[in-house]
Amino acid sequence: MSQTETHHFQAEIQQLLNIVIHSLYTDKEIFVRELVSNAADACEKLRFHQSSGQPLHQADVAPGIAITTDDKAGTIIITDTGLGMTHGELVENLGTIAHSGTKAFLKQLAEDKKPDVGLIGQFGVGFYSAFMVANRVTVLSRSFGPEGQGWQWTSGGMGGYELTPAADLPRGTKITLELKDDAKDFAQEATVERIIQRYSSFVPFPIELNNKRLNTVQAIWSRSKNEIKEEEYNEFYTFVGHDHDKPLFRLHFSADAPLAIQALLFVPGRNFETMGMGRMDSEVNLYCRKVLIQAKAKGLFPEWLRFLKGVVDSEDLPLNISRESMQDTSLMQKLNRVLTGRLLKFLEEQSVKDAEGYSKFYGEYQRFLKEGVVTDYTHKEALGKLLRFESSTLERGGLTSLSEYVQRMPSEQKEIYCLLATNRAAAEASPYFEVFRERKFEVLFLYDAWDEFVIEHLREFEGKPLKLAEKAELDISTKKDGALSEDASKSLAQWLKATLGDKVGEVRVSQRLVESPAVVVDSDKFMTASMRRLMKSMKQDAPEAGAAKHDFEVNPAHPIMARLDAMRQTDATLAGSVAEQLLDNARVAAGLLEDPRAMLARLNQLLEKVLTKD
């Protein structure tokens, strides 16, 4: 054919092709995404020309994409009815580099042992990914202009390409890939269907594969909220969330600064981690202009938000990132910051607007929020606002936020008090609670094993320190009648220390007890019984929680103490047994008594004494 022109690739393109052709890259399937994206772009541009009223070749043919596979011939063909290319455009677009960012990408590819071409499309050279799988690529194209003419572009990837006029072409572009032997799988319909569902489900033009329509769900995240029906949202959620139940919350938003973001995020109705499904992976997929860049994108949200599902679309994905480094790029961090901030704000709003929904959310996901407080310093404060606890001033089951608690604090109260307990009854019966009831200070009741860490990491809220009840330094305000005198109390305390010996640390006269005769307090200012238990459960050779030495505080106003003080003068042995029993009782109240056998034996002896008394 005399009309055939031979062209050389620009040096950089040839360099790129050499890498791509010999690439051992494993995700070769992304070539489908790239060619479909180009087809969709061409359709988009056609639509633009259409709307500007320009005359078009085949004006009645709607923009769309058709793919055919032929496993016998070993080919895949991607056809679009987009705007097509002229001779000049073919030369310009498929043989030279248009984007400046591409050079950096090339440099990086050339340095890598196993080049990661996954983001090739982001660098404006997606078309060339076809050569990862094809020996020969043939492009037939006819531009939309009425006087246009068709051209055939064909290349084996080495050296250059040939251009030949082609008569009677329909508008648009048809790309035929003659697949390499090791890529014949891409001539299988099922393979291609899977790839398109994965990457191109939301391409806004119809995609047909061997005459079957594939993409039926719309990229509703890019539409404005008030145009979208509830059913559309739900259908979309089912599609992206693989969940047939309704989501608990939905956040649809867009932002322009500091980044262009469109996001549609869902909180599933149930926490899948508690359903024995193991640790979840975030199911938020990252798109760039409706084309999937990364499924379950790592680093898009902090770990503690891994229950989210949905879509984030950003046009700002830059030209200088590779998949491995994507996690660390400042862009990813920026996205993370914007998205997390927005979501936290949303949850806070929800807690006010939809209290019922929020409490359901809290029931399912509180552990994630708590994980956030402990692991994510940046968002600690915002997360603190989302926490909810039972409290001594609320009915059983009622929950309060820390903000509400702070608002209720009387002016003389300086700290937020928290009491760790297994349940409401235990909390209210706890000797540590007595001083608070007496002083009418509200106490938060914390039942979750994680709460202690949460309190420890949060440290303070709205400037008020969070304090565990057992560590609070508070005194009963009023003196009780019938209490032992100060001197008598002190001397009883000394006797107790002498009697109990190594079983206790210090023995003190307590100022915090009302109803209980005595209480044990961890002698380590920062340790608590629950923390010791947890340490034991994580580390076998850590000492039993109860084995740690505790200080013993006695209530001078309790009748037992007055009688004990009298008895130690008359029957020191019996008084000694009672002292030991009081210590064990206090340990039981603190949940510290691991082995009750010795205590029961002693208790039986004491009962025997009581019963034989004449």
- Interface with ligand ADP (CB under 6 A): 34, 38-39, 41-42, 80, 82-85, 93-94, 124-127, 173
Residue 522 interacting partner from Mg ion, ligand ADP, none (CB closer than 5 to 8 Å by kind): none
Any contact of residue 173 with Mg ion (CB under 5 A)? no
Q: Rounded to the nearest whole angstrom, what is the least distance from the CB of residue 62 to ligand ADP in the complex?
A: 16
Size, binding site for Mg ion by CB under 5 A? 2
**How do beta strands 261-267 and 207-209 pair?**
unpaired
Least separation in angstroms between residue 39's CB and ligand ADP is 5
SS3 content of the chain, % helix, strand, coil (to 5): 45, 20, 35
* Residues 131 and 146: beta-carbon distance below 8 Å: no
Judged by CB, which is closer to ligand ADP: 172, or 546?
A: 172
- Report, in Å, the least distance between residue 407 CB and ligand ADP: 55
Contact between 268 and Mg ion (CB under 5 A)?
no
With respect to ligand ADP, which residue has the nearer C-beta, 207 or 454?
207
Are 506 and 551 within 8 A, CB to CB?
yes
**Closer Cβ to Mg ion, 10 or 422, answer by number:** 10
Decide whether 67 or 305 has the Cβ nearer to Mg ion: 67
Largest CA distance in the chain: 130
Find where tokens 């399937």 sit. Answer: 29
For Mg ion, which residue has the nearest CB?
126
Q: Which of 482, 447, 468 is CA-nearest to residue 525?
A: 468
Q: Which does 125 bind (CB under 5 to 8 A by kind): ligand ADP, Mg ion, none?
A: ligand ADP
Q: How far lies 235's CA from each of 26, 203, 245, in Å? A: 33, 17, 10
Q: Are 338 and 251 in contact (CB under 8 A)?
A: no
Residue 126 touches Mg ion, criterion: CB under 5 A: yes
Distance (Å, rounded) from C-alpha 457 to C-alpha 375? 9
Angle among Cα 433, 436, 439 to the nearest 5 degrees reads 155
Residue number, 101 or 299, with CB nearest to Mg ion: 101
CB of 143 to ligand ADP, least distance (A): 9
Dihedral over Cα of 292, 296, 302, 304: its sign: positive
The one segment of 122-130, 267-275, 297-305, 588-596 that binds Mg ion by CB under 5 A: 122-130
Q: Give Cβ neighbours of residue 514 (< 8 Å, ≥ 6 apart).
A: 434, 435, 437, 438, 476, 555, 557
Please tell me whether residue 391 binds Mg ion under the rule CB under 5 A: no
The option from Mg ion, ligand ADP, none interacting with 134 (CB < 5 to 8 A, set by class) reads: none
Q: Which does 23 bind (CB under 5 to 8 A by kind): Mg ion, ligand ADP, none?
A: none
Of 455, 443, 420, the closest CA to residue 529 belongs to: 420
Of positions 25, 28, 32, 38, contacts Mg ion by CB under 5 A: 38
What does 93 interact with, of ligand ADP, Mg ion, none (CB < 5 to 8 A by kind)? ligand ADP
Binding site for Mg ion (CB under 5 A): 38, 126
